[in-house]
Amino acid sequence: MASKNSKTGPLLHSLVEDAPSNLVRELVSLPRGENEIEIVLPLEETGDEEFRQKLLETLSEFDHDDLRPLEHRCRRIHLLAEGKGVSSLETIVDQRLDDEQHGQYSSQQDPICRSVWIFLNHRQAFQDAESFHYARQFRDHGKLYDAFEVELENAVSIDAAAIDEPALASKITEVLELKTACTVKALDLPATDPHPASIMLIVRHGGPLSSVHDHRDDGRRGTIYFRPPNEATLIYTPSKRQIEICADSPVVRQKVGDAFAEVTLEHDISQKPLTWKRYNLGRFRSSLTLPIPEIDGFEIQVARVLEVEVRLGHWSRKLALKVAIGDDIQDVATKYLGRGNIFRRADSFSRIGIAVKYNQSGDDKERSLNITVSGAKSCNLQSNKDPDERNFGFALLHEWGILSAFRQVDNGDLRSMLPQLVDLYDREEDEVSGGYLAEIGLDPGRLIEGGLLERRDRQDVVLIDEDDINGEVALKPSSTPGQVQATGPFGEDAGRRPVADLERYQINREWLQETVVKLVRPLLTSKGTQVIDQDLILLGNMGTDGASTPVYFARRLGDPVIINKLDQLLRARNMSGIGVVLSSSPETLTCLGPNVVVPLLSHLEGEGTEQALSRDAVMQTFDTGRNFALGGSTVAVNKSGTQSASLCIPGKAPLAILGANQIRIFEKLVAAHLAGSPDVKTAELIEDTGVKSPQQAFKKPMWDSILDVYIAKGPTRGYWRLAG
């Protein structure tokens, strides 16, 4: 077999050793992509063991990068040949193959052979099985998953055959404003121990146009434009009246759910929007005891936590504690796990079981209700068939601060919050404190309801520098409602702090981006969103009378590293013409590449309490800066602070230069150019910069992009000049 130094990936190596040689031969000889290598296979008549040995020897001659596409293919195959992947494949195969095809599938020797055979012969079924398998897993990973409830009078009993796939695809194409075709495939999911019978829909659609740089074989750099293949997986469980959706965008999750409810369930979402419920179990960090709330129409005798399960650093590691209804789980945890027990330090709560004993007002019959909350997005109340009992349970969770329900923020409220939302969008960190939100005037509760924020936890340590205390202070519960007690590093009293200021929240970055972009889109005459970078989006065009004026939206332009990165990206797109870069940062350069930078917050106009981007103000700034974006009328270094400036050369896009060293180098080159003696000796150019050559003052990507474009070697060795 291959030597220990073989560069063959482990999964490819395993498959070559274990799978039948005919399947391996067919898999390795599949049509290749543009950048994939060609592998010369051993002759057909080669014996089985000899074939494997020769193939592994051939593969070992290639680099890891060369074999990466083949290794990735093998990883996909192994995923559906191990653990739950086997049952995921079986579930889809049972529905997608006819009797003859299923017989061929079943005749394969083992799970890995069956997975390879499906991959080779029924690629669409293989991809559907992958989607189903990932949908199962995403239920445990909240970032890509949402669950919605639909308020139907009766549970709608439907199967996959009843889904009008073309009509639903048409509706999804409309609501997502897709530029390319969308496909929908419906499959029945049989009942399993943890899940009732459901219907799965796989929605495949193109994402926003994007681009990447490509290093070509001839050493030149090119740009590849592509539309990424996006996918949303929807699972509808009639008995729960629940729609679960896995997709990488929260906007897609909501809109696909709405489209399904409207087209398939004939639900009027304008009158009864889908309910997006989130469960926050953070309250159980401080206590597992529940108070008895007052709920109209009900008298509550007992409300106790009987079960708690936490994750220990990773979702696959967990610790569970169960008690009888006669036990106090708080006392049990303290007695056997200690006062500073794991529930205070756990990474997250994955399951809470609550028992409630009650009776309805005016009725002496004692009743019981068991509530189980699993993670942030699932609760057994969703499948409770008694509407009164279901509503009672949700009311309890709301009173305990466990439940929050999604409520779309209307456009008027969003426009009134536009300056604050832009400020939030410009932040580098995705985590924000309650104190910061209060400072900029945002209500975290309203943003949570609207899906823009998610509650995380509470700070237990803060840094302060006041009076005689300098350093970390610990925060403990206080007898004053709404306050926590701060204790200094040596046990000294550091006063009290508002609890609300210490709450921590996670920004739902994609939803916030979609919201802010939607509020500035009225500026455009044509829309065509393209994601260029995580900090730069092409929104469309605002040109009139046939003129093309591309409009970009950039964030974090207060960061020199981001300015440098986006300047290079935009200079590479100078064939698009002079455009506008809307900036969420309040202070930035005048130009970025061949584009005029327009700080969004300084170009708003008020409409009562609402704010809107003024098209007239943007056009005025654009007209004023157009000549500057073309390089101005003379060579110059225009500073916009001590650490940033723009190099202007007529006929070229302005170059953003950052830091004192870069500015000093170009100021000397510009001065020499204007004096008529353009060449500057290296020693003079780098004087007082601390670098040994001009190249060291720039990061390599920037230097590569400006050499012989803005700066060039002089005709005499050891001299530099502005590039002509």
Could you read off the pLDDT of 417-471 as tens digits, one per residue?
Answer: 888 899 999 988 888 888 888 888 888 888 887 778 887 766 666 666 555 666 6
Q: What is the mean pLDDT of residues 674-699?
A: 89
Q: Round to whole Å and give the CA distance between 149 and 379.
A: 11
Q: Which residue intervals of 308-356 are DSSP H helices? A: 329-337, 342-345
| 705: Cα within 13 Å, side-chain hemisphere | 22
Q: Where is mean pLDDT largest: 84-98, 539-553, 565-579? A: 84-98
Categorize the per-residue pLDDT at 5 as very low, low, confident or very high, splitting at 50, 70 and 90. Answer: very low
* Burial classification of residue 175, based on how many CB atoms lie within 10 Å of its CB (0-12 exposed, 13-18 middle, 19 or more buried): middle
Q: Would you place residue 100 in the very low, low, confident or very high pLDDT band (cuts 50, 70, 90)?
A: very high
For residue 208, pLDDT beyond 60: yes
The pLDDT score that the predictor gives to residue 576 is 67
Which of 467-481, 513-527, 702-716 tops mean pLDDT?
702-716
Spell out a b/e string for 391-428, using b for 16 or more CB atoms within 10 Å of the CB, else e: ebbbbbbebbebbbebeebeeeebbbbbebbbbbbbbe
Residue type at position 194: P
The burial class, CB within 10 Å (0-12 / 13-18 / 19+), for 387 is: exposed
Chain centroid offset of residue 549 CA: 29
> For residue 481, what pLDDT is reported?
67
Structure tokens belonging to residue 205: 């659609």
Distances (CA, A) of 334 to 308, 328, 343: 14, 10, 10
pLDDT average, residue stretch 395-403: 88
- Helix, strand, coil percentages (3-state) for the chain, rounded to 5, are 35, 25, 35
How many CB atoms sit inside 10 A of residue 28's CB?
18
Kindly report, residue by residue over 281-337, the tens digit of the pLDDT. Answer: 878 877 888 999 888 889 999 999 999 988 776 656 778 899 998 888 888 888 888
Specify the pLDDT at position 150: 78
Q: Give the helix/strand (H/E) hosting 419.
A: helix 418-425
Tokens of 187: 């499959």
CA pair distance 350, 356, nearest whole angstrom: 20
CA distances from 124 to 374, 401, 473, 499 (A): 33, 45, 58, 53
Per-residue pLDDT band at 553 (split at 50, 70, 90): very high
pLDDT classification of 4: cutoffs 50, 70, 90 = very low
pLDDT computed for residue 314 by the predictor: 60
* Residue bearing the bigger pLDDT, 610 or 551: 551
Whole-model pTM above 0.85?
no
Q: Pick from 225, 215, 246, 272: which is nearest to 65 by CA?
A: 215
When pLDDT is cut at 50, 70 and 90, the band that residue 2 belongs to is very low
3-state DSSP call for residue 486? strand
Distance CA 177, CA 181 (A): 11
> Which contiguous run of DSSP H or E holds residue 495?
strand 493-498
- At 505 the pLDDT is 86
- Res. 690: pLDDT tops 80: yes
Give pLDDT tens digits for 591-609.
888 888 999 988 888 755 5
CB atoms within 10 A of CB 23: 20
Token reading at 679: 């060449």
Beta carbons of 378 and 138 less than 8 angstroms apart = no
pLDDT of res. 465: 57
